[in-house]
Amino acid sequence: MYNPQLNKHGELQHLLTTEGLPKAHIYSILDTAESFVSIGNREVKKVPLMRGKSVFNLFFENSTRTRTTFEIASKRLSADVINLNIAASSTSKGESLLDTIDNLAAMHADMFVVRHAQSGAPYLIAKHLHDTGQHHVHIVNAGDGRHAHPTQGLLDMYTIRHYKKDFTQLRVAIIGDILHSRVARSDIHALTTLGVPEVRVIGPLTLLPNGLEHMGVRLFTDINEGLKDVDVIITLRLQHERMNGGLLPSAQEFFQSYGLTLERLALAKSDAIVMHPGPMNRGVEIDSTVADGTQAVILPQVTFGIAVRMAVMSILAGN
């Protein structure tokens, strides 16, 4: 099967999704990231691995936080970064997405970090670069629609490995709006590939997609059952726009039923870790006592996230 992420030598050409990403590639990214974690604490937080490379942050959908993490990762790799807020730019002048891409590629771009509201947009770009023989440009999917957010998935794997070492003995629970979450999707694919024996999703039926059981995922609408004896809890951000969408009653009611409180956390294993992709809605999907508690590893996730993005970018640039 043609895999748009890999080149003909089986190396990573783009990072588009964690779905079907071979275990060896995931481990290679996590191991490379480990060497970058320590850089953050050095006096000079830079390595020259991407000196003179041009990285374009192509954000068709605004996301200051994600853009910032890629901008920092690029600068610590010594790359030149150009931020393009495309929503306000050429596309509004009627130029097609692929004409914009061709133009930037013609400027000798080395990497596009793409964020797009449309699922599949980074694939479309990857296919176009492939079909037109522009193999010098690498794509990192920084979130496309509801589909995938692979660097978030990988930094979550880094965090789990950091605290739990062995994936093959774990129970992992993901709580919240699974249906609309690219983070959940990217996490589930990576967890499955890495051999986690039990992945659970917890949420109201309206926010649990069909077909997850085929992926070996267990569904829970009762959070108390779902959290029982888990090692890892991933809470998801409840998007504000969903709250008005009729799929769930209100933020307060969501918290009543699915907010992670200390009482509920006590149902998990005593050394369970609590994760969140940020930005958090305190009092909606997570209680402040949990977010600021000893089991939360939410800020380490951020730190590891820079290292994981440096790893992905430097590996792609080297291939």
Note the residues at the interface with a second copy (CB under 8 A). 40-46, 51-54, 62, 64-65, 68-69, 71-72, 75-76, 80, 82, 84-86, 88-90, 93-96, 99-100, 102-108, 240, 278-282, 299-300, 302-303, 305-306
Please state the closest distance from residue 69 (CB atom) to a second copy, in A: 7
Give the nearer residue to a second copy in terms of CB position, either 199 or 306. 306
Tokens of 280: 């958090």
Length in residues, the chain: 319
Q: Where are the alpha helices (DSSP H) in the chain?
A: 23-37, 64-76, 97-106, 121-131, 150-164, 182-193, 223-226, 240-243, 251-258, 262-265, 288-291, 298-318
Give the nearer residue to a second copy in terms of CB position, either 173 or 296. 296
Please state the closest distance from residue 203 (CB atom) to a second copy, in A: 20
Give the nearer residue to a second copy in terms of CB position, either 93 or 214. 93
Please state the closest distance from residue 136 (CB atom) to a second copy, in A: 9
Please state the closest distance from residue 90 (CB atom) to a second copy, in A: 5
Give the nearer residue to a second copy in terms of CB position, either 70 or 123. 70
The DSSP output letter for 15 is B
Place of tokens 């939360």: 296
Give the nearer residue to a second copy in terms of CB position, either 68 or 256. 68
Q: Where are the alpha helices (DSSP H) in 194-260?
A: 223-226, 240-243, 251-258
Cα–Cα distance, 226 to 263 (Å, whole number) = 14
Cα–Cα distance, 71 to 51 (Å, whole number) = 14
Please state the closest distance from residue 57 (CB atom) to a second copy, in A: 11
Please state the closest distance from residue 85 (CB atom) to a second copy, in A: 8
Cα–Cα distance, 249 to 247 (Å, whole number) = 7
Give the nearer residue to a second copy in terms of CB position, either 23 or 240. 240
10 contacts: CB under 8 Å, gap ≥ 6 = none
Cα–Cα distance, 25 to 92 (Å, whole number) = 38
